[in-house]
Each structure stands twice: as structure tokens, then as C-alpha cells.
A and B are shown apart, each in its own frame.
Chain A
Amino acid sequence: MEFETVIGLEVHAQLLTDTKIFCGCSTKFGGAPNSHTCPVCLGLPGVLPVLNKKVVEFAMKMSLATNCVINKSCSFARKNYFYPDLPKGYQISQFAYPLSEHGYIFLDVDGAQKKIGLTRIHMEEDAGKLMHDEHNPVSYVDLNRAGVPLIEIVSEPDMRSPSEAADYLKRLHEILVYLEICDGNMEEGSFRCDANVSIRPMGQKEYGTRAELKNMNSFRNVQRALEYEIKRQQYLVECGGKVVQETRLWDDASGVSISMRSKEEAHDYRYFPDPDLVPILVDDAWVEKIRRELPELPLAKRERFIKDYQIPEYDAGVLTADKALSQYYEEVVKLCGKPKQASNWVMGDVLRFLNEDKRDIRKCPITAVALADMISLIEAGKISGKMAKDIIPDMYKTGLSPQKIIEEKGLVQITDEGELIKTLTAIIESNPGQVADYRGGKEKLFGFFVGQAMKATQGKANPQLVNDLLKKMLAG
């Protein structure tokens, strides 16, 4: 039987506000356990939450960037459950009245645009972390993360394959980072994802029973976990079994998921409006103010790159996938005026160096200015492309400008005609056989003479000049 996969995703993104959602504590990652806490985020008796307005504005940005409708009024609710990392015994979240709803983004699927619906975006607080002592039956609670603002982005069950799901996640990730409201760090948990997966026989309208997958902390893991889950469900059905509604935990090391809790064991969160917080009223003026603050988003930037810089779609995609990279690229173009060359150098050498070192573009030793200078030097005929290939690793290693490296290595191109003629004459004289063959019609031998010239000048000769002179001299 052929099956169709149905996937919906819930993404939790930590917001980059300076302070927590309901108190003034720092949101910085790291820090000694419980050093970023106060009575409010510790949930001590008698304290009250006060909403950080920045959180609403960040969440509004994401809503607008994903075409969501921002509700005129929204409110917080309490999600009640017991766990030691949840100091109040409830999480302040949004339930019946989320910030925004009915959004969508587009994915490229097989060359076509596919619309993926966003059910809602809501704000909530993060929980703390537990640390278990490996040798003693003791657990420790670190509440630094408790109260760090999150948005939860819930998609419609619109994805039909693990690769679409991974694509969707990459798009969301890209937008969040572009908006500068989330650092997108999956290892540190600033970008987390749960997936709802089901299968159904091809052509069936009703959804199958879904399983919820948790604990996938990289794009690759999401894809692997989904692939595993689909296989698991298909196998179950093909063997005459049934998929049960449950929450499953992905175990990356063993490459399988394990059941965490069944539907019967599911929490009854007893959501109700949080009486300590008042509804948030969002008027048009506020929405417009936020809309004006929105930066250019990845999709728009991609299209602009293709149009304005005349670079291939593929290049535009690579260069805009990371906001900082796109800014670096644009800076280089602005300085040297050569978009295609800039794209080749950035995507070729620069990205290769960075990938090898697992280094961020923001920490790239080759500054945009240095790279632009190098491209300009090539354009001006001061150095050859080959020379550039030789010096760019030094630029990366040392962080020096191309001029400085050229100077130190004595690499300036020979553009002195008289000097070159001397060299070329010597070559012609010492290779009479090849000259005769060339003149006899073996034009392929021209390359041999160019090679000899470059060898003799250690690559410093201006190739164009060598070409011109050789042609004349060999013509006899």
C-alpha cells in the first residue's frame, strides 16, 4: 500500500530580549546556576508577573514576517503541571487567545512554491533545567532559563515529507535570525522543534492517528527522526497493527524513538486565564510601527540579489541563507562593484575556509574591505586570478590586506613590456623546435609558451600582456 505522510511542526524559539518575560532578570545563556533569578522567576509565594513589552513586539515581528493576523486582543493563560523545573507549578502561556493566527510561508518544493499554513504564534515563558547527579540519587534545579521568553509557532499539518519539514524549519529559522529576535542556536536550545506525524493511505482524506516526536535538536535529527517515525508507522500498519496516539522521544545516539507517554497518560493542563495578567490590546498604530521596523526578509533579499546583482538563483540562495553572510557579500559588492566575482570568491574560498574551521562569517579574518580590494586588484590587472588564489589563504590566516601580502611576498605583477620581451625572447630562442612547429600550424603550442613565460616569472607576468607579446613575437 502506498502511504502519504502528514507532518505538522511546533517550534519554540527563545527571544533575544535582554530581560525575562515577567521580571527584570537577565536572559543570558550560561552563568552560574540560579544566578539569573529573582523572587518572581523563582515563583516564590506572593510575587506577581509584569509583562516585558519587548516580548510582545518581537512576537509581533515574527507574526508579520510570516503573514499572521495579529489579534486585537490576546491574553495569557496558565498551563498547569508539576515538574521541578517549573517553579510555579504552571507555565504562563497563551491558550484560547494567542497573539496571532492564520499565517503562512512558502517553500520551494520541486521547483514550485508550496504554501505552508501557520496556525498560530503565541508567547510563553521557558522552564528551568534539571541536572541529575550521576553518582547519587540527587537532582539539581537551575532556574536561570525559567522565565526566558519563548514564542511557539504552530504549523498546520501541511508538510508531506521529512525534507519538506526540514525545509520549513530552515525557513522559519532564517526568518527568526533575520529579524534578530532569536539567535537560532539549536544546541543551546534557542530553537526547538516538536513534530506531529501521521500516515494515511494515498488518497484518503481523514488524517491518521498521530504521534508527537520530541527531543530533536538539529535539522538533521528532525529529518532522521521523521524518517524513522514514518517507517515505524508504515511497518505497524502493514503488519496489521495500529498507530496509537502517544508522545515519543527521539534518541539520536541509537537512531530510534521511544514511547514517552500514551494518550491516557497525557497531562490535563487545566488551562485557564491567568488572573495576574491583563489582556494585551494591540491597535493598528502599534502593528504599523512594528511593520515599519521589519528588516528585509530572506525571500525578498534573494529575489533582489538575483535581479540587482544578476547572480544565479543558487548563489542568491546560498548568500542569503545567513543574514550576516548576505551583509558581508553586499558590503564586498558595494566596495568593488563586481557582484558575480564577489559571489564566486565568497561562495568559493571564503565559505570553504569558514566551513573548515566551523567559523561564523562574523568572525571571518578576511574583512569585506580586504576581499573587495583583492577583487579590485585583479580587475585592475595588478594581480592575476592565480595570484589571488595563492594569497587568499594568507589573507585568511593573517587577516592582512591583499596589498600587504603582495608587498611582503614581492608578488606584484610584471607589466613592464621591455622586461617581458627579454624573457620571452629567451624562451623562443631556447625552444626552436616548438617555435617551428607552432609556426607550421600547431597553434595548440601557444599554451606551452604561456606556461614557460609564467614559470620563468614565477607567475608574476601579466597574462594578457604575455598573450599579446607572444602572439606578435611568434608570428615572426
Chain B
Amino acid sequence: MELNQLTIHELQEKIKNGETSAVKITESVFQRIDAVEERVHSYIRLLKDEALVAAAIADENIKKGQIKPLTGIPIALKDIVCTKGIPTTCGSHILHNFIPPYDATVVEKLRDAGAVFVGKANMDEFAMGSSTETSYFGPTRNPWDLERIPGGSSGGSATAVAADECIASIGSDTGGSIRQPAALCGVVGLKPTYGRVSRFGLIAFASSLDQIGPFTKDVEDCAIMMNVLAGFDTKESTSVQAEVPDYCQFIGRDIKGWKIGIPKEYFIEGIDPEVNAAIQKAIGVIEKCGGKCVEISLPHTQYCLAVYYIIAPAEASSNLARYDGVKCGFRTSDARDLLEMYKKTRMHGFGAEVKRRIMIGTYALSAGYYDAYYGKASQVRALIKKDFEEAWKKCDVILTPTTPTPAFKIGEKTDDPLQMYLSDIFTISTNLAGIPGISVPCGFTAAGLPMGVQFLAGHLEEGKLIQIASAYEKNAQIEKRRPKL
């Protein structure tokens, strides 16, 4: 096995034993990038020089015995988290030249933990999309089938891990943007509880839904990443002030006696038969592990998509108002007055999907429509939260498919936004309720496309997710495959 193919915990062992060095690991990652990046396009920007410097410093520290949780580990960052002095585009023309004068809190934390940043990963523009096709910098391709999408919006972060172009990565999840691409690319992806990981420096899409989380090659790596990422941040008012457990302690524990809720509303018509079969198999594995599966109901599930597509665009329409050409980013050079500058800057700076959502959101907040749309959606959102609170009385964890289908073809749904939106149907409720969710690989279709199973838990119960995901991963014996590139 090449170094770039290993997990964080495997590399940590090798580093500790002196079998390898941070520079060697980083070089192996960039060799892989040289070989496959042209076809996959995981990255908007590579940080090779910076990475090699950081790796050399990591090696100095290793020599001194100063080894931190991520010392020398090459990590990719979704280009939505601000990096001081390094362009952060959010996949958009309007921010193509934006260089933040500050690091996102997660970037600081990862740097402090010794991480080596490989590059800024590709994404749907402003995280609005489920396929990474709306990126201003061109689409990312699924390493398992280059004709297909990797999912989105954190597509580049998912493919970078799946194609071994990094060891782990950071994504953000507003309605499934970590879990959906994780499932479609065959990697582990966790969306933490709202407020568990700081949003400071995360370019906002929908502030009440956005959450940063990791993509990793296995569940143990996910726990290691969460140990670094989680925690209260004084720079964020919605940050949760609560103890952070050592997530690694949940690895390898059994789930005997746990009740696993299977929400009947998630097994709908239109779900791909192969996905359905894989999930049924996963349920079997969980039962073999000692979990007891019970049918539960989340009665407001059918409204999730509608609620999400009011609340998220409404918040986005306001969050994206700051891209006006005045302070930073793209500004049209062809304007005679202020109004024209605004119009042309935003017309040419934003892509079609972003403009669609700004218009939907502006409409939903307009005088005379607010009560019927945003107001009603907020009320239903409260009911969706309540559905989960009721569910936790009957079960410890909920199991669902992560996506209704495996990866679809590039271009297949770009002209049909509603079809595109449906690919997040199983992941959206989690964000609306603010609870954590994880997607774990659960096998391959006959065509060799990966699929994912999703586990959901109550507020701040990421530990439970890691525990069940780790038990499932160990017992499911999913065939170890690597994409043929």
C-alpha cells in the first residue's frame, strides 16, 4: 500500500515508529494528485509548496517527540473555510479573488493539531448543489465512475479522500453536503450537532443549518478528526458550551441492547432497489451486532424538503447580500451608477443555481409572503425537531439510507432542480433538527458504485454515532476496494 492510501491512525503508527516521515506522506499524496487530479478535479487550489514546508516542520517536531493528533497528516479543506492569506472562493466567480485575512476556527484547530493542508477542495457554488456541478471552477468527477457526479456540495472533499488525494478532509453540511457525497464516493462522512464545531470562518450558506464535519477513510479516523474539530468557540454565538468527550473511546465498543429506529417514512417509492437491498443488509448486520431494530415514525418527513427549500434560501438570500462588489471579490467594471454596479456584479458574479436560491429566498421573506412561507416553514421545522425528540423515546439511534440512489450521471439532473433537490431527501431532516448524522459505506452496486448507510442520533451524541458506525464497519465486512483510476 502506498502511504497516501493509509488512514490517519495507520500513518500515526508509522510516524511514531519512525517508519515514515511527514514529508514522505505529503509527497506521496502529491504524486497521487499528479496522477489523477486532472481526471477527478477534487481541488480548486493546491497548496503543494505550503504543504511541503508544513510537512518539514512536522518532521522537526516529530524528531523532538512532539507529536500531536494530526502531525504530518495531509488534509484537504473545502474551499468554503477561510484560510488566512490563501484564496477562498466558495466555488464562486464572485469570490474568485478573495483572500481572507483570517483563518476559520477549524483551520486554526487543525493547524494546531499538526495537520498539513493539501489544498482547497472543489464544491458547488456557495455549497448550493448536490453534485459539485455548480462550481465556477468546473465539476468534480466521481472516482468510481468519471462519468458520474461525486455528490455535493462537498464533492471535492469526498473525492479527495476516495481517490487518496489526501488522508482526510473537511466539508460542510447544510442539507446533506457531507453525508451525501460521502455515500456516493464510498467514504465516511459526519455532520456533527449544530453548534458542536465552530462555524467561524465558514462562509455562510444557511446559518441555522450549516455545520462543518470530516470526511475520512474509516470510522476511527472520523473520531480522531472530531477530537480536533469539536468544541466551544467564543467567536460563535450559536456554539455549544459542552464537554467534548474523547471520541476514540467509542471505537470498537459493542451496541448490544441498543434500539435502532427504522423510520418507515424513509423507505419510499423511488428508492433505488440496490440501495434498498444494501440498507436491508445493513439492518441485518446491526441486528447481528446485538442491536434491536424497531420501526418508528417521523411523521413530518414529507415536509422536510419543502421546509428546507424555504429556510435555506431565505437565509442564503440575506447571507449572500454582502457580495455586492463594494468590499471584496468580483466587481463589474462596466457600471455607470451604484444600482448598475450591484446588478451587473451579482448577475455575472453568481451562477444560475445561486441566483435561483437568492430569488426563492427573497420571495419567501417578502412582505405579504413571510407568514405563508418563512413563518410557516419555521413552525413546521419545530414539528420536525419534535418528531426526533419523540423518536429518541423509542430508540437510541436511527438508521436510514443516506441517499435514495447511487451517483447519477454528470448533467443528468442539472436541468431539473427538483430532481436534484430530491437527492438530499434523507439527509435534510438532520440539519433542520440540528442533530448529528453519519454516513458509512455499505457496499457497492452491481455497476461498482458505492452506497452509504446513515445513522442519526440525538443532540451532542456523536459518540453514539461513532460507536454504532464503528461496530457496523467492523461487522459488515464491506469489501475493500479502491477506485480504478
Name 11 interchain pairs, CB-CB below 8 A, sorted by A.
A42-B327, A43-B327, A44-B102, A46-B104, A47-B102, A50-B237, A80-B317, A84-B326, A89-B322, A141-B326, A275-B208
A39→B90 CA distance, assembly (Å): 17
C-alpha spacing A87/B324, complex, angstroms: 9
- Contact B328 A44, beta carbon cutoff 8 Å: yes
Q: Tell me the residues in window 40-85 of chain A with beta carbons closer than 8 Å to chain B beta carbons.
A: 42-51, 78, 80, 82, 84
How distant is the Cα of A34 from the Cα of B90 in the complex, in angstroms?
26
Given A44-B100, A272-B314, verify A80-B321 contact (CB < 8 Å).
Answer: yes
A265 close to chain B: CB less than 8 A: no
Given contacts A87-B327, A272-B370, A276-B207, contact A45 B322 (CB under 8 A): yes
In contact, A46 and B236 (Cβ under 8 angstroms): no
Q: How far is the CB of A295 from chain B (nearest CB, A)?
A: 31
> Any chain A CB within 8 A of the CB of B238?
yes
Interface positions, chain B 260-317, Cβ under 8 Å from A, are 314-315, 317
Number of interface residues of A (CB under 8 A): 28
Contact of A46 among B201, B320, B326, B365 (CB under 8 A): B201
Complexed CA–CA distance, A128 and B90 (Å):
27
Instruction: Kindly state the separation between the CA atoms of A271 and B320 in the bound complex, as whole angstroms.
Output: 15
Q: Is B199 an interface residue (CB 8 A)?
A: yes
Contact between chains at A278 and B321 (CB < 8 Å): no
CB distance from B196 to the nearest CB of A (A): 15
Q: Is B362's beta carbon under 8 Å from chain A?
A: yes
Which of B104, B199, B236 is A50 in contact with, Cβ under 8 Å?
B236
Residues of A within 8 A of B235 (CB): 48, 50
**What 7 A-B pairs are tightest by C-beta distance, nearest first?**
A89-B321, A275-B208, A270-B365, A275-B207, A45-B203, A46-B203, A46-B82
Secondary structure dominating the interface of A: loop
CB of B237 within 8 A of CB of A45, answer no
Per-residue A-contact encoding for B211-245, CB less than 8 Å = 1, 0 else: 00000000000000000000000111110000000
Chain A residues in 8 Å Cβ range of B317: 80, 270
A82's partner among B98, B207, B237, B342 (CB-CB below 8 A) is B342
Count of residues in B whose CB is under 8 Å from the partner chain = 44
Q: A44 contacts B321, CB within 8 Å? A: no
Q: Does A88 touch B at the CB level, under 8 Å?
A: yes
Most chain B CB within a 10 A radius of its CB, from A39, A80, A272 = A272
Contact between B100 and A268 (Cβ–Cβ < 8 Å)?
no
Residues A276 and B237 in contact in the complex (CB < 8 Å), given A45-B95, A46-B202, A268-B366 = yes
**In whole angstroms, what is the CA distance A89 to B320 when docked?**
8
- Residues of A contacting B208 with CB < 8 Å? 275
Q: Are B322 and A43 in contact (CB under 8 A)?
A: yes
The prevalent SS among residues of B at the interface is: loop
A-B contact number at CB 8 A: 102
In the complex, how many angstroms separate the beta carbon of A15 from the nearest chain B beta carbon?
19
A369 at the B interface (CB under 8 A): no
Closest to A43 in B: B322
Q: Which residue of chain B has the shortest Cβ distance to A143 in the bound complex?
A: B327
Given A46-B203, A48-B200, A276-B237 in contact, is the A270-B318 Cβ separation under 8 Å? yes
Judge whether A44 and B327 touch: CB under 8 Å: yes
Q: Is B101 an interface residue (CB 8 A)?
A: yes
In the complex, chain A residues whose CB is within 8 Å of the CB of B365: 80, 270-272
**A277 at interface by CB-CB < 8 Å:** yes
A97 at the binding interface (Cβ < 8 Å): no
In this complex, what residue of A is CB-closest to B207? A275
Residue pair B324, A89 in contact (C-beta under 8 Å): yes
Q: Give chain A nearest CB distance to B375 CB in angstroms.
A: 9
Q: With A90-B318, A276-B237 known to touch, is A47 a contact of B200 (CB < 8 Å)?
A: yes
**A-contact bits for B149-189, CB 8 A (1 contact / 0 none):** 00000000000000000000000000000000000000000
- 4 further A-B pairs in the complex, CB-CB below 8 A; given A45-B100, A82-B321: A42-B327, A48-B237, A88-B322, A272-B370
Give every chain B residue within 8 A of A141 (Cβ-Cβ): 326-327
With A82-B342, A90-B321 already in contact, the answer to whether A278 and B100 are too (CB < 8 A) is: no
Asked if B238 and A272 make an inter-chain contact with CB atoms under 8 angstroms apart, the answer reads no
Q: Can you name the residue of chain A whose Cβ is closest to the Cβ of B94?
A: A45
* Chain A residues, Cβ within 8 Å of B366: 268, 270
Bound CA span A271–B366, Å: 8
Min CB distance A253 to B, Å, is 25
Question: What's the nearest-Cβ distance from chain A to residue B207, in Å?
Answer: 4
In contact, A275 and B315 (Cβ under 8 angstroms): yes
Residue B81 at the A interface, CB < 8 A?
yes
Tell me if B136 counts as interface (CB < 8 A to partner A). Answer: no
Q: Closest CB-CB distance, B59 to chain A, in whole Å?
A: 31
Please report the C-alpha to C-alpha distance between residue A284 and residue B217 in the assembled complex, in whole angstroms.
Answer: 52
CA gap between A279 and B317 in the complex, in Å: 22
A89 to B327 CA separation, bound complex (whole angstroms): 11
